[in-house]
Chain A
Amino acid sequence: MRILVTGSSPGRTVRVRLAALWLFAAVMAFIVVVVPRDVSTSLADWVTRMIHLLAMR
């Protein structure tokens, strides 16, 4: 049986919800900022190769 020490006051609930939203926002920011940077350098090459792959078939 688990023993929770976190309590469940309204203020704490809000803080936990904000922390969960922060996690989601941090990941989304990563997708918006970091992934396109990676894409811009390699997606063109990848698409070219995929076209080549399809052409081979």
Chain B
Amino acid sequence: MIATQTSQVLVGAITALIYAGAVTGLGTVSLTAVLGKRGTAFVRSAVGPWGLGWLGFVMGQGVLGLVWQVLSLAGAMRSSIVAIVCGAAWLAVPWAVRLLRNGGQSAERSTRSGGAVLPAMHSWYSCVALGIGIVCVLLGARALLPSGEADALKAYLVMPRALAASGSLEFQAFAHPFYGLLPLQVELHWTALFAISNETAVTVWDYLCGLGFVGGTALFAYSLTLSRRAALIAALIILSTPGFYELVGGAKVDNAAAQYGIAAFVCLTLLPALGRRVVALAGLFIGWALASRYTDIIVLPALVVFAVVVAGRGVRVSSSLTAARKESWVLNALVGALAAACAGTPTLIKNFLLVGCPLAPQFGCRETFWANMAYFTDPNLSVADLFLYPFVWTYANRGDMLGNVSPLFVGLLPLLLLYRRSPTVRPALAAALAGLVALTTWLLVEPLILFTRWLLVPLALLAAPLGAALVELDQDRGRDRLVRWSTRGAIVCVFLVLLFDSRGAVYGVRYLASIDSRAARYDGMSGYDVAVWLNARVQPGQRVALGGYRGYPYFLRPEILLESESGDELQWLWERGGRLSQSSPRGRALPRSTMGIKAAALSSSWTPDVWRFYVDHGFAYVVIARNQLDAALGSWPSQVGARLGVAFAGREDSLLRIARGKEAARLSPAQEVRTATSPR
């Protein structure tokens, strides 16, 4: 007999794998539609069947994300429709498999075989590949766990689960601090998985996207250097970046979004051979990157610089072809921009349809409660940190940084300088330049904010030449004992760190075996006690006022969230509460936590009017911070047709019951705190 939790985890994981198959099938077909059969065959010969499959996987995410956006705006994001779309996408899988297995011509394959360095069995690089495989398996086991990431529980998982429950993408008043207004290209896949499965499907899918990013980094390094060894080391550099691996399976959008960015660069490595079609493809990918995260805008100048360098060099094609293509650079740029607009504009249209402001909540709609409560990040670096940027990023711990970068970045830098002219490193220097351009752009935008997860694409760009430098050293001085022991010892130590930091896999296996429960994982976290009480007792149609709730909304049933205060109701409350815009444009005078800002703004003025508002709008429960309980109870009006009682006292928040009619009569004297003297 399989335990319910075990079967749910297995079903979720299998669903994510099936979904990945549908995405790859659809993506490979779409890729062929853009590139044509000959172009697709060339890509296969250039980057191999796995490379083409990876591009299909990322392409499928982009296309299917667009489909989900249209369906959700039309109110048709139902489980049955999601299943039908996934089933239809699966029809493309046999065709895609045939293409991946047989699509390449031997003559075309030979164009890239010359420089490939195949790792011989039992070689050092086979051990590195094995180590990477083991770490990936351990991260996969950890991804079976429900997400423990604060931002995911606050926002990233809340929106897709509620959308899956309602089937319709609308302004989500309860989804503080983003309200469904941020780019949703990644979250819409989670919505589909919530609709047809459960949260394990989402975390496993996020893990697959994380693997996709590592694979994309390796593919990019390979397509530049033609060295599988360099690709392997580049993958290890990203895999050993805590800012990446700590979020794998954690349901934050960054790892999945980074796939689009690196896919755009992979496409541009094929620019001299395939021209405008890969420019269109790169444009689509960069558009989807922006439709996943606005901060990916820093990749755009890097992409332009990379395209210019690659096209200028005419990598691996004759000079006459390159000269011909140089004449159409402007046209290429227009094609790329148009493709990027096609992929990126739907998210702006979505915001325009929802609130009338395409760039909300960052820009526009300033007189709304949500624009004023949108969460802005405070700087986490000092000016002195800027002068030691690589070392701070590698070794220091700054607020909200959520993980350092791999020590291999700093460690391999001298080797990159020493071997910059070597045949493996030199072709990858364009990637180093692009990575530096992206980082410089970020420093110009927000020099004092350093979040590793926002800078994954530049890191992947830098990993390619750094990996090539290590391979070059190995081949150049592999017989030098000091060099051999230093470099291989360093890589072994990196694996030891990775194995140690993958110890969460134990929890994943225990969760799969139903030894640890979901409740045990979340018990003690902010708002869980109140959420459990509400989930068990709130009847369909009963409304709960969550304005003062400071816990994680993900703990609450989506039906409760959907029935909570509407946008208009929160606007009314905000206009009578502590208006953030009057105190500070960035809310620094108020609590710094995301949920604290919301609670302070919406429940800071407990007046009889506010209580009448809750009674008149049919709320049955009101969540309120425990430290505001006395003020709130003291303002209960006398002229209202209901009675008020304390339903539940949680660790941080309390739950008040507004009872009417017969329910009011049943309210026990011990529960009751305020009673109306004369019902209306």
Contacts of B507 in A (CB 8 A): 49
CB distance from B450 to the nearest CB of A (A): 15
CB distance from B680 to the nearest CB of A (A): 54
CB distance from A43 to the nearest CB of B (A): 9
Greatest chain B CB density within 10 A among A4, A19, A56 is at: A19
Contact count band on A: 20 to 34
Q: What would be 5 A-B contacts, judged by CB atoms less than 8 Å apart?
A: A16-B476, A23-B408, A27-B497, A30-B404, A53-B510
Check B313 for interface membership: any CB of A closer than 8 A. no
The answer on a CB contact under 8 Å between B422 and A6 is yes
Cα A21 to Cα B470 with chains together (Å): 13
| B-contact bits for A38-57, CB 8 A (1 contact / 0 none) | 10000000100110010010
The answer on a CB contact under 8 Å between B422 and A17 is no
The answer on a CB contact under 8 Å between A21 and B486 is yes
New contact pairs (17) apart from A2-B423, A6-B418, A46-B506, CB-CB < 8 Å: A5-B421, A15-B418, A16-B473, A16-B477, A16-B483, A18-B414, A20-B483, A21-B482, A23-B412, A24-B489, A24-B493, A29-B407, A31-B496, A34-B404, A35-B497, A35-B500, A50-B506
Known contacts A5-B421, A5-B422, A56-B515; A17 and B490 CB within 8 A of each other: no
Q: Is the interface of B mostly helix, strand, loop or mixed?
A: helix
The answer on a CB contact under 8 Å between A27 and B407 is yes
| Closest A residue, CB atoms, query B470 | A23
Contacts of B475 in A (CB 8 A): 2
CB distance from B173 to the nearest CB of A (A): 35
| Closest A residue, CB atoms, query B491 | A27
The answer on a CB contact under 8 Å between A20 and B242 is no
| Closest A residue, CB atoms, query B509 | A53
The answer on a CB contact under 8 Å between A6 and B480 is no
Cα A30 to Cα B135 with chains together (Å): 18
Contacts of A53 in B (CB 8 A): 506, 510, 515
Known contacts A30-B395, A53-B510; A17 and B480 CB within 8 A of each other: yes
Cα A44 to Cα B638 with chains together (Å): 53
| A-contact bits for B391-415, CB 8 A (1 contact / 0 none) | 0001101000000100110111011
The answer on a CB contact under 8 Å between A24 and B418 is no
Contacts of B482 in A (CB 8 A): 17, 20-21
Total residues of chain B contacting the partner, CB 8 A: 41
Contacts of B394 in A (CB 8 A): 26, 30, 34
CB distance from A14 to the nearest CB of B (A): 10
The answer on a CB contact under 8 Å between A23 and B486 is yes
- Choose from B412, B419, B470, B483 the contact partner of A17 (Cβ within 8 Å): B483
Check B494 for interface membership: any CB of A closer than 8 A. yes
Contacts of A37 in B (CB 8 A): 397
Contacts of A34 in B (CB 8 A): 242, 394-395, 397, 404
| A-contact bits for B468-507, CB 8 A (1 contact / 0 none) | 0010110111001011001101100110110011010011
The answer on a CB contact under 8 Å between B414 and A30 is no
- Choose from B422, B486, B501 the contact partner of A38 (Cβ within 8 Å): B501
Greatest chain A CB density within 10 A among B486, B493, B497 is at: B486
Contacts of A24 in B (CB 8 A): 411, 486-487, 489-490, 493
- Choose from A3, A27, A38 the contact partner of B411 (Cβ within 8 Å): A27
Cα A37 to Cα B475 with chains together (Å): 36
| Closest A residue, CB atoms, query B394 | A30
Contacts of B418 in A (CB 8 A): 6, 12, 15-16, 19
The answer on a CB contact under 8 Å between A5 and B487 is no
